[in-house]
Amino acid sequence: MHILFIGDVVGRTGRETVAARLPGLRDALRIELAVVNAENASHGFGLAPDMADALFAAGADVITLGNHAWDRKEIIPYIAETPRLLRAANFPPGTPGAGSALVDVGGGRRALVMQTMGRLFMDPLDDPFRTTADLLARHRLGGTVAAILVDFHAEASSEKMAFAHFLDGQVSAVIGTHTHCPSADAQVLPGGTAFQSDAGMSGDYDSVIGMAKDAATLRFWRKMPGERLAPAEGEATVCGVFIETDDATGLARRIAPIRVGGRLAETIPAV
């Protein structure tokens, strides 16, 4: 199976560029499952329903959120009726929405997509390790599902790496999000799980993690509250990863970074 994961979409330029590029990436890479993290799509904070609709229309099969899931309050009724829009699975019971979704990928196959959120330097949610283990007890890779992709939304690379090794051999891929900087550690772990600490953001890299650099820099320099941060509005780079899984086992054969447009050096894997 060919899987595309696109990292945190930031602001207008990010979401417009992803919407424009996604159909071509699906065709060029023969994508069967496309997942987009869009928790920063609305002016850098949250996601609005119309923006989610536009990403689904462009070819996203599943959209994931993160720590900014509830910044746009109108997403609460929308997520309750949109099973392919995911918040972190380790939010407490009773939280609107779902943390996982089963997706038909053709040929009578289904893929499981889920998101969990780390706890180191983040909000103290339920244990992501235990939450994931409980969910995986109901699904068998290479059996009930053809692929399992986990978006692990976390701050610390150590927690992301530990989480990936914990799941090695049980899921197709663990892809980190949240820090907005594409890491250079894409690899298939010994048990067959693809991993990258962070997929990077899809936004303007002439910025401070996607936000306009002048206001963001002043916060560090003066250590005083300033104007509300706003996304940088220059040309966006679409960042993400491509994963190819084995049809028999559901484990990863390879993982490769994707960078298209904008300021970063372009890389698109050959298929």
Please report, for the chain, how many H helices and E strands are present, in that order: 6, 12
If you count them, how many residues does the chain have? 271
In the residue annotation, 43 being an active-site residue is answered as no
Q: Which of 2, 43, 68, 165 is catalytic?
A: 68
Is the Cβ–Cβ distance between 142 and 249 less than 8 Å?
Answer: yes
pLDDT value of position 219: 85
- What gap in Å lies between CA 224 and CA 219, rounded to an integer? 6
Name the residue with tokens 């690899």.
187
Q: Are strands 100-106 and 147-153 parallel, antiparallel or unpaired?
A: unpaired
pLDDT value of position 80: 95
State mean pLDDT over 62-77. Answer: 97
C-alpha Rg value of the chain to the nearest Å: 17
pLDDT digits (tens, 9 = 90+) for 11-29: 999 999 999 999 999 999 9
Domains and CATH numbers, the chain: 2-260 (3.60.21.10)
